[in-house]
Chain A
């Protein structure tokens, strides 16, 4: 009974993040440094589930991402699937109760996703690739980490997460 309610609450938080991705990002202009709520939803989902489920969730989010960005179709599927899998495996190591470690977890997710997308995809190369990975990716990772921490603090009971410090 309790487990069912927890799943429902977790699902509500994830749905909220997905809605924020489509409902809030347009307010952030072109949003190159705007937080990626979809990736955040995937990482939070991965915290509380097995790698197998996380990789499927990542694959589906990647499919949605590829459908609206028809450049290098399949690259987002691969990237999100790998991020979901790694996040679910690494949560025991990286997702501690320390907020800094949690922020690094979200930041790392954005970096790994972007590296896979630009390396596996095409269209960005040379200086543009370096600029993307050296500037925009860390900036978006930082924004995502900040929002991720805010979400964890706001919904820590619903998500069953304890943060200290």
Chain B
């Protein structure tokens, strides 16, 4: 009876201690939180992240196998029927995916997905410092800007996506005449909408106008697609307008991404016009 009571007290004590530690962890300053996270990723989680990374590679190989076979069959048919195949291949090579256009200043990485509800705000990438990834490296998909690297471990890195409340990027229209600041709209990360704020009142942006990174601040190169303006949200008369923007890159569907490592100031030509939504 006494031992049962002691055990019950121990249970309560463990509960209070764990909840207290969780509350303390929540209250820690961000650098300290990141230090703890990084330590856990490098030690306790390291073997599991290796399993997840290898599984991701296996899955990618598996899913690409069908496309590879289809391409091979298609090429075989063309080789039998068509002339000038080399010329066509040359043109196809010119349409190579974004990663090839951005080389050598880019690294392809796999997104390691998590199970909790806030997974749409930040992701773990399968590449880290050993692959040249650094903090504040932009993360893109062929569609456009997805996020930015926030912390780097030797083999993995963490990127916050454009849905994250802290995300900001300077934006401009393709003709470079109107500028503003893009931030997440909040709410459901899967709604794919951002806000363009701080647009001078004298400027108006018609719906359907694409937005590109403006290149201010030294984090994001100029010319990466951010999204498309869908309409005006509100205006501060005489001061500024804000617009709703449909994002170019969907966080939920990103399985493979490209991390930009180069210092190229303008990437406009690397993103084909058809990559804009």
Contact = CB atoms under 8 A, between A and B. Distances in A.
Interface in A54-88: 55-56, 58-59, 62-78, 81-82, 85, 88
Contact of A68 (B18, B21, B45): B45
Contact of B18 (A31, A59, A69, A121): A59
**Chain B contact residues: over half helix, strand or loop, or mixed?**
helix
B128 to A, nearest CB: 13
A52 B119 contact: no
B135 to A, nearest CB: 13
The CB with the most chain B CB atoms within 10 A, among A38, A74, A76, is that of A74
B272 interface: no
Nearest to B14: A52
Contacts of B12: 52
Contacts of B151: 70
B28 interface: yes
Contacts of A88: 11
B118 A71 contact: yes
Interface residues of A, number: 65
Contacts of A132: 117, 188
B190 interface: yes
A29 to B, nearest CB: 7
Contacts of B38: 67
Contacts of B25: 66, 73-74, 77
Interface stretch (B52-60, B197-205, B228-236): B52-60
A128 B13 contact: no
Contacts of A131: 188, 190
A126 B114 CA distance: 22
Contact of A70 (B37, B52, B163): B37
A52 B48 contact: no
Contacts of A22: 48-49, 51-52, 55
B105 to A, nearest CB: 26
Contacts of A76: 116
A124 B116 contact: no
B113 interface: yes
Contacts of A19: 48, 51
A129 B112 CA distance: 23
Contacts of A120: 26
A123 B55 contact: no
B11 A69 contact: no
* Leading 7 A-B pairs by shortest Cβ distance: A128-B188, A74-B26, A74-B25, A52-B11, A67-B40, A78-B22, A52-B14
16 contacts: A21-B48, A55-B14, A55-B18, A67-B37, A69-B118, A70-B37, A73-B26, A73-B28, A76-B116, A117-B116, A121-B118, A124-B187, A125-B187, A127-B188, A128-B191, A132-B117
